[in-house]
Amino acid sequence: MFFTGLSNRTSSYFNPLKNALESTNIDILPNTYLTLSLSTSFLAAICSVFIILFETTIIPMNSIALALGLLFIPLVSFLIVFSIFYMYPFQKVHQKALNINTNLPFAINHMAAIASAGVPPIKCFEMLADFKEYGDVSDEAKNIVRRIKVFGEDITQSIKYIARRTPSRDFKELLYGILSVIESGGNLKEFLNEMAQLALFNYKLSRKKYIQSLSTYADIYTAILIAAPLFLISILSIMCIVPGPGFGGISIIYFMSMGIYVIIPVLNLAFIIFLTYTQPDL
């Protein structure tokens, strides 16, 4: 009850989170998600306190270290868990927008072919919704059809609703363009053919730019994670031959071990995550 009341009082500060949850169609109310985030984060903080107290039975700590640990580690645990909960919907929004933008050129071509038969716009969305190969584009089309058939909205209201909530700017522009054509009585077939050509051109251009950027990433990787470590290891190996106290009383062997077993693997992992996050959906 405490966390429910707290989430209700603070929900106005989390409007971006609410919008992200609506855009990704996560089946949970914003206040419920916020309550779950707060309660789980608080539970993580409590668990960290018990872990620290258990560690004191194995590794003796002085009172100052124990007090600092009990003060900061639960706070850090709470912030980390809450940040994971908070960022998860935004990550889903990014993935959904990426999926829509990838499939959109081909979905528009499909809609243009359907519209060329002279069928009404609702049929275009119905057939698009049945074609699951277009991923989240099909899901958005399904939402449009569902709002028309289940909620009784007309097609313009349904398109406006989805256009306001879709995370893809390209799909938003397409929906508003279709809406304008419907309201003005324009030629939907010609509009979709033009949008299909433009979308395919942008699709090819984005892939070309990504391939060019990969060559830049390869040069950066070679310089930072291959050449630089080899150079530093060579220098440190030579310095090991000369007796000395090391750096600040820390041995050179320790620096080499940290670089080989910690720093280089962490940098490689960060580079893989960066490539995974920046690559376009296939």
DSSP secondary-structure letter at 27? Answer: S
Rounded to 5 degrees, what are φ and ψ at 186?
Answer: -80, -175
Query: CA 248 to CA 96: how far, in whole Å?
Result: 50
Q: What pLDDT does residue 158 have?
A: 93
Structure tokens at 118: 């002279």
Over residues 105-129, the mean pLDDT reads 89
Q: pLDDT-based confidence at 144, cuts 50/70/90?
A: very high
Within 8 A by CB and 6+ apart from 92, the residues are 20, 24, 26
Q: What pLDDT does residue 243 have?
A: 65
Q: What pLDDT does residue 27 have?
A: 76
Strand partners, 250: 247
Letter string b/e over residues 95-131, b meaning 16 or more CB atoms within 10 A of that residue's CB: ebbbbbbbbbbbbbbbbbebbeeeeebbebbbbbbee
* CA quadruple 141, 92, 173, 159: dihedral sign: positive
Which amino acid makes up residue 134?
A: Y
Contacts 24+ apart (CB under 8 A), 141-148: 141/107, 143/25, 148/122
Contact 215, 208 (CB under 8 A): no
**Which of 52-56, 59-63, 207-211 is the most confident on average?**
207-211
Q: Over the chain, what is the mean pLDDT?
A: 84
Lowest mean pLDDT among 52-56, 149-153, 208-212, 259-263: 52-56
CA dihedral 208, 210, 213, 214 (to 10 degrees): -110
DSSP secondary-structure letter at 223? Answer: I
Within 8 A by CB and 6+ apart from 217, the residues are 275
Contact 99, 133 (CB under 8 A): no
Query: CA 117 to CA 170: how far, in whole Å?
Result: 25
Q: pLDDT-based confidence at 242, cuts 50/70/90?
A: low
Q: Single out the residue of 175, 182, 145, 139 nearest to residue 160, CA to CA.
A: 175
- Given a cut of 80, whether residue 3 has pLDDT beyond it is no
Q: What is the pTM of this model?
A: 0.72
**Chain position carrying tokens 């995550």:** 273
Which amino acid makes up residue 234?
A: S
Neighbours of 204 (CB within 10 A): 11
Contact 144, 125 (CB under 8 A): yes
Q: pLDDT-based confidence at 171, cuts 50/70/90?
A: very high
Query: CA 19 to CA 167: how far, in whole Å?
Result: 10
User: Alpha-carbon Rg of the chain, whole angstroms?
Assistant: 27
